Amino acid sequence: MENINVHKTAIIHAGAKLSPGVSVGPYSVIESNVTLGDNVLIGTHCVITGKTTIGRNCKIYSGAVVGSAPQDKKHSTDDNVFLNIGENNTIREYVTINPGTVDGGSKTVIGNDNLFMAYSHIAHDCIIGNHCVMANAATLGGHVTLEDNTMIGGLSAVHQFVRLGRLCIVGGCSKVVQDVPPFSMCDGHPASVTSVNSVGLKRARVSSETSRLLKKAFKILFRSGLARKHALEIIARELNSCPELEHLIFFFKTSERGVCG
């Protein structure tokens, strides 16, 4: 195998597809339905299993288990389910990631340039965008969606079917049981919105005018005492439209679990 570095103690099952530049460390196991893209680095004592595809330049550290069966009582070993991981992701020590379930669409999908710190867990049927961060021991229940640039603090738990909006940040040790709006800071047990994520907006190079509009929108949504439907109508009518504001309104209108207060 050209330009592939596999330690003599690693086990590579027949049928596994390893691209050029792949490195597999001591005592790791790569099972037969796995595809590893260019330059994927697998550390020591890792298990990559299931119908799992990992994009190029991903790094997987010691003890990670990627693609193991969903922790769902309805799952059968005969189910045709998948885990698709994009490019340039960093998966730290002892992270666990499960594929989808038949009832949930059959796929867990992870985008590009994400960081999953040690002991974090991604359950079945999750959809994760790009540039997200899950700190140590953060946990996603099944069917969770993370939009781009989401950050989750350590030891936080996200309930099944919850959505976390773009550029939101969840404080450490939080219990997230409802959707977290885009561009927000959220914290608590259960988690609630504390403010606009001003630092995140600045780092994302969102204009000062857009940040000002978002702060006004958050004040109407969370400080006015108005019902959410009425607050959204005022925002749409009285604030100048911009893509970020339109996304915020769309997020609220499409929430199925409700948005945290």
- Encoded tokens for 161: 């079917």
Contact (CB, 8 A) for 37 and 18 = no
Q: Which of 68, 36, 62 shows the shortest CA–CA distance to 49?
A: 68
- Tokens 């298990």 belong to 47
26-35 long-range contacts, CB within 8 A, separation 24+: 31/67, 34/67
Report the C-alpha gap between 130 and 110 in whole angstroms: 8
* Bridge-based pairing state of the strands 145-146 and 127-128: parallel
- The catalytic position among 121, 124, 143, 159 is 124
- The catalytic position among 125, 148, 179, 187 is 125
Q: Which of 168, 222, 163 shows the shortest CA–CA distance to 200?
A: 168
Question: Degrees (nearest 5) of the Cα angle 71, 81, 21?
Answer: 100
Check residue 68 and report its DSSP letter.
P
Residue 125 a catalytic site member: yes
- Tokens 């000002």 belong to 212
- Tokens 């994520």 belong to 197
Q: Which of 120, 113, 84 shows the shortest CA–CA distance to 100?
A: 84
Query: CA torsion 157→162→164→169, rounded to 10°?
Result: -30
- The catalytic position among 50, 86, 141, 142 is 142
Active-site residue set: 124-125, 142
